[in-house]
């Protein structure tokens, strides 16, 4: 019975040996993309990507979005009205 339960859990969450879970990875994804993750977090994350296609795709999308945003910001400085808009939004929060 116990063994069956373990197998069932295994089929839901991957092999029990698998170090990282998707949930943990999604949590550290933002840190990795922002370059703020520790070496350990990054390794843990990248290990998981090797085994998990959905997380890999998710990471690629996040990374691309981040790059596009960075390029936009670097190439054109944000219009002042946009900056003011953001500032007033922050104030009202």
Enumerate binding residues for Zn ion (CB under 5 A): 22, 52, 55
Cβ-based nearer residue to Zn ion, 37 or 52? 52
Distance (Å, whole) CA 25 – CA 49: 9
2-16 burial code (b ≥16 CB/10 A, e <16): eeeeeeeeeeeebee
Nearer to Zn ion, 22 or 46 (CB): 22
CB 35 → Zn ion: shortest distance, Å? 21
| C-beta closer to Zn ion: residue 32 or 55 | 55
């Amino acid at each position: 019975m116990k063994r069956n339960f373990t197998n069932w859990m295994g089929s839901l969450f991957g092999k029990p040996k698998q170090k990282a879970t998707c949930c943990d990875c999604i949590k550290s994804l933002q840190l990795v993309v922002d370059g703020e993750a520790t070496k350990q977090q990054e390794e843990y994350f990248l290990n998981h990507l090797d085994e998990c296609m959905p997380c890999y795709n998710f990471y690629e999308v996040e990374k691309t979005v981040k790059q596009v945003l960075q390029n936009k910001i670097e190439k054109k400085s944000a219009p002042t009205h946009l900056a003011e808009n953001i500032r007033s939004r922050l104030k009202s929060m």
